[in-house]
Amino acid sequence: MIIFWILVAGLIGLAFLFVVMPLLRPTPEQHEPAQDALNLEVFGQRLQELDADLESGYLDRARYDAARHDLERDLLHDVDGSQPVDAHGASRLGRWTLALLLALALPGTATLLYLQLGEPTVIERMELAARGLPAEDQGTDQSMEVLVQRLAKRLEDNPDDVEGWLMMGRTYFALKRPEDGLEAVASAYRLAPERLDVMLAYAEAIAANRPDRSLEGKPAELVRAALELDSQNVNARWLAGLMAFQHGQFQAAAVAWQKILDEFEPGSQEAAELQEMVDEARRRAGIAAAKAATEEPIAVPVEGSSDESTEAVGAERIEVSVSLNPALAAEVAPEDTVFVFARATSGPAMPLAAQRLQAGSLPATLALDDSMAMAPGMQLSAYAEIQITARVSRSGEAAPQPGDLEGQSETIDTRETTVTAVIIDRTLP
């Protein structure tokens, strides 16, 4: 034991030399950069690059999600709460005075820290290892709580930071604080309601706060709006399939998810998990699931194939004349966006076909047809009865907002009618 303490004293002395000697030499004044702000700026730039790669098709959704997860994890690791060092403190006290203080404080502090912290930490790590738990997991929640505090401080200074609110929301959900997560994502939605990723994040946040995770109501509106903006968005199609599944439309869910599955890397964990969901939807729909031994994606069904081919029961093309009630003309600007879309009166909530134009072009005649289907099996011709909606969006977002102007057709039997008219004649409350 005596030898042990001699070694300790020697190590303390060595540490003393490393700490004190530099203080006895003159050092230039230094200024530390605002590293946290720099980290967040780099995060924003890299996130924009990822979004651009996803938009251009260079990255698929699975690789994008993985890259974004890594980016957020790196930000959590890099952001620290250190404050700039006061470079003038040492000069005010005097280097010799500081060196003397360290000479007195260092040995006692090191000994005290060892006695108080050294041995218990070793025991704790051994206990965690015996239970098969990594010691670093102990601090994960605490680290994320610290990140929340720093994000909150930055959002106080910059409340219009949409990316900050989204990251705050995801962090809250990771901490199993869904109500706080919903509030944060709602803030992002209030700032950027026209952004597709914000729409979908808000839809998921609302559903996550419901006991049954239902996408009814506002989430369904947001998913439909997202599909009208980008019918090929993977997350929107996934949620549309989930909506169909929740409504008992299992075949529609299966074909929507199957199309996404074909875009995943074969053999990946994401593909395996989605394959299970496709098989479950098929099983519930009375369709035989793919044989597990093949481990290959199921081919997307085409017209005329067996199980999932969709028999045409209605028209493949509907001609729509859209006009605006003259009494509302003063409320519309020529550059306002007009969304025109068809939905089945009885079936999935996903639009069957959609087009977008500007209010300045009204009145206008356009066509909705099977080529605009947003998922396999979701063509116009698959449904006998549909309804056409035309909506003027002042904000440019597809989700209905108070003050938007809208008109709807009567229920159309596409077996008998292929031409219809919609008059935009009311203001949404």
Residue 323 within any structural domain of the chain: yes
Over the chain, what is the mean pLDDT? 74
Does 293 reside within a domain?
no
Q: Identify the band that residue 54 occupies on the pLDDT scale cut at 50, 70 and 90.
A: low
Among the ranges given (294-303, 340-349, 392-401), the one the predictor scored with the smallest mean pLDDT: 294-303
Establish if 115 belongs to a structural domain: no
pLDDT tens track for 156-169? 889 999 998 998 88
Q: Which residue has the higher pLDDT, 222 or 80?
A: 222
In contact, 253 and 244? CB cutoff 8 Å: yes
Distant-in-sequence, close-in-space partners of 23: CB < 8 Å, separation ≥ 6: 90, 95, 98, 99, 102
For residue 314, the model assigns a pLDDT of 66
Residues 172 and 184: beta-carbon distance below 8 Å: yes
Q: Token digits for 315?
A: 């028209």
**Residue 172 in contact with residue 185, Cβ under 8 Å?**
no
CA angle centred on 280, ends 300 and 205, rounded to 5°: 95
Identify the domain containing residue 10 by its residue range: 2-26+34-82+89-108
Residue 238 lies in a domain: no
Is 74 among the domain residues? yes
318 has which bridge partners? 368
Residue 328 lies in a domain: yes
Asked, for residue 209, whether it belongs to a domain, the answer is no
Cis status of the peptide bond prior to 363, with omega within 30 of 0: yes
pLDDT at residue 188, rounded to an integer: 94
Q: CA 168 to CA 184: how far, in whole Å?
A: 6
Judge whether 299 lies within some domain. Answer: no
Task: Give the number of domains in the chain.
Answer: 2
Report field, pTM of the whole predicted structure over 0.75: no
